[in-house]
Amino acid sequence: MAQSPINPLSAHHHQPQVHLEGSVERVTFHSPESGFFVIRVRVAGYQDLITLTGNTPSVTGGEYVEADGTWINDPRHGLQLKCHSIRTVTPTSLEGIEKYLGSGMVKGIGPHFAQKLVQCFGDQVFEVIEQTPEKLLELEGIGKKRLQLITSAWAEQKIVREIMVFLQSHGVGTARAVRIYKTYGEAAIETVQQNPYQLALDIHGIGFKTADQIALNLGIPAQSLVRAQAGIRHVLQELSSQGHCARPVDILIREAEKMLEISPDILQQALDAEVEEKNLIPDQIALTDHPDEQQAVVFLAPLYYAECGTTRLLQELQYGQPPWGQIRTDKAFEWLENQSDFRLSDSQKQAVEIVLANKVSIVTGGPGVGKTTTVNSVLRLLLAKKCRVQLCAPTGRAAKRLSESTGYEAQTIHRLLDFDPVEYGFKRNQDNPLETDVLVIDEISMVDIVLMNQLLKAIPPTGALIMVGDVDQLPSVGPGAVLADMIRSDVIPTGRLTEIFRQAATSAIITTAHQINRGIAPQKTPKGTDTDFFYIPTDDAETARSILLNVVSQRLPQKYGYDPIRDIQVLAPINRGGLGVRSLNIELQSLLNSNSYPQVTRFGWSWAPGDKIIQMVNNYDKEVFNGDIGQISTINPEDSELTATFDGKEVLYSFDELDEISLAYATSIHKSQGSEYPCVVIPMAMQHFTLLERNLLYTAVTRGKKHVILIGEKRAINMACRQTKARLRMTKLSQRLQD
């Protein structure tokens, strides 16, 4: 007769070791980051399934496990075996084999094909896949393509498991094992053993701390030069992700000392070595408050070369006659007015004159001041002069908007420069320049220093460049402050548009944005007001959160007919905290899309069809870029794949690539640059205080087309309107342009 486990806790406080063997019926939970698992196992001689917990790099349904551990009685989950060691063995029973193959661990075999394979090949199925895979073609539904998928996935799976075990043995989560394999192939373990710090440089999702833990576990001394060099470069890379191109040497050494606990002498040695290896470049930058005094700084090499290249190319491009020759502006304005029914304002005429008189120029101004009309006027004149004109913008959404507002085709910068994912570079450059006379870039405030340098390389020396953007918005996500630096240098002729047009002045979104820009905080919207901008002040963050959830899920859809997923975008200042992006996403997902199936859980998120997502890194193969927003259309557990739609384009992700996306019911204000949404909801609280700044609130408010709802603590919003330039980025572009 089958027995139930006696309660082993009643007898003794000191628990004896227990050895159990059985097949994994269900993986209740497994975190690839920490390795922690909860599994249900069928053990001979026990009537009920036994719950086992512990840590292992990977565990799959159907596997046979041998575990040693002690019984514990969990107050919530009852009796469990807490494993001190667990070994997984490939299953031998037919049922186990089917469950194992159907678990989705091998791409191309889901539950359906697992059943077919076991029916056909029985317990020989593993040997068949490994040694005579061509036999699989005998099965209906398996063609050459699926066979290729199965055999390569099987081989990959074996190596990935080795990498997982290696990482786990060094106390590191195994979620990125597939990426490590894809980056280094079969040499993965060897590469990591030689220089674990390489991981942090090469692999998305692996930071310095993870690499450092592996290094210390491999016996690399804490005070070693290799660790100090990696640490110094890491500190600079962290700063570049906050937008800085350089750091003063003394501050850099202090910061590295605090993070690494390495003596300053070794750090100075490491800095010298990095400079000698040309990873870092020393330079001097003038102090902001004492411009005649210089301070010693270091740049990450790519950022130094990008700044120098941008400077040289802008200066070279400024020389010579514009491709359209001389244009008499009084005649031009007369011609424009005969062509169309609008009149340009004085500041618009001035901006058009500046553009027509120079080969390189900037047009800047806030919302509603007529940047589009100004650009369209210039385009008409240049096209009448038979100039070849090309239009571009940093993101797909911004390019689409530019096309709509001008009536001419606009491309993303990456598409324009023809990015080659194989060579990982642009095909358009100095040797193969763009075939154009004039390049117009919109949303230039979003362009970082590296992209700016690449773009300038592709403009023919005889060509002209017109840059359009709003200098008061947040600077680019990537390093540099290109637009602000060019304007500050006074070297690039700039047309500033300041007058708000009559029809724009009736929009509270636009008038509020300009007030915020002048440091005036918005006032509470009176009840019953018919307006496009609402401000709901609250006393605390908790109230703000519950109002926000109600506004997004109920009030806005009911009053204005918005689709809460597609039309409404929540924009939060930071990722962490109760009013941060992460926590709002979890709440909004459960409010708006919790009943959708099938679901897949990877990298700490659960995904289902209908979920709104954002791409977090540039992926040139898929042609989706950091900040692009899409929606999941299908999830296919059989092939471990997810399909999402971005602006009408289908994009396929395998499950192990899902760390490239994040939920996007709420996104950070930084990620929203260059995008517009029908309706924007902005929470602000004192928990965001480190980031509260005028350009942040201004950027958020200017993202809304039809409605903007600002909800938050009065103190926080007043603070955001007051704070400016708290964190000027450390760059040298304006100084280089002046020199």
Annotated binding site: 368-372
Q: How is residue 645 written in tokens?
A: 């739609």
The tokens for 261 are 């606990």
Residue among 446, 479, 449 at smallest CA distance from 243: 479
Pairing of the two strands 410-412 and 641-646: unpaired
Torsional class of 311: left (φ above 0), alpha (ψ -120 to 50), beta (otherwise): alpha
* Residue 523 CB coordination number (10 Å): 10
Q: Is 729 helix (H, G, I), strand (E, B) or coil?
A: coil
Q: Determine how many CB atoms are found less than 10 A away from the CB of residue 550.
A: 12
Q: CB within 8 A of 119, min separation 6: which ones?
A: none
| d(C-alpha 460, C-alpha 439), whole Å | 10
The DSSP output letter for 257 is: H
The count of other CB atoms within 10 Å of the CB of residue 329 is 14
Closest of 551, 617, 609 to residue 584, by C-alpha: 551
Q: State the amino acid at position 73 in one-letter form.
A: N
Contact 437, 323 (CB under 8 A): yes
* Separation of alpha carbons 269 and 258, rounded Å: 16
CA distances for 107 relative to 113, 379, 534, 598, 696, angstroms: 11, 51, 49, 17, 43
Q: How many other CB atoms are there within 10 angstroms of residue 84's CB atom?
A: 12
Which residues are annotated as part of the binding site for ATP?
368-372
Q: Which two tokens stand for residue 144?
A: 């050459």
Cα–Cα distance, 66 to 87 (Å, whole number): 5
What DSSP character marks residue 619?
B
In 59-106, which ranges are E strands? Answer: 64-74, 78-89
Distances, alpha carbon 721 to alpha carbons 671, 680, 725, in Å: 20, 18, 12
User: Are residues 724 and 694 in contact, defined by beta-carbon separation less than 8 angstroms?
Assistant: yes
Backbone angles phi, psi at 298, to 5 degrees: -125, 145
Determine contact, residues 199/214, Cβ cutoff 8 Å. Answer: yes
Grouping H, G, I as helix, E, B as strand and the rest as coil, residue 626 is coil
Q: Where are the beta strands (DSSP E) in 487-532?
A: 494-496
Q: How many CA atoms lie within 13 A of 461 on its CB side?
A: 7
Three-state helix/strand/coil letters over 179-237: HHHHHHHHHHHHHHHHCCHHHHHHCCCCCHHHHHHHHHHCCCCCCCHHHHHHHHHHHHH
Tell me the DSSP string of 405-447.
HHSS-EEEHHHHTTEETTTTEES-BTTB--S-SEEEESSGGG-
Distance CA 56, CA 32 (A): 9
DSSP 359: S
Q: Among 702, 722, 710, 683, which residue's Cα sits nearest to residue 507? A: 702
DSSP state of 523: P
Tokens describing residue 586: 């979890």
Q: Is the peptide bond before 526 cis (omega within 30 degrees of 0)?
A: no
Question: 3-class SS at 71?
Answer: strand
Q: Give every CB contact of residue 194 below 8 A, 6+ residues apart in sequence.
A: none
Q: What does the alpha-carbon distance between residue 543 and residue 714 come to, in Å, rounded to a whole number?
A: 12
3-state secondary structure of 602: strand
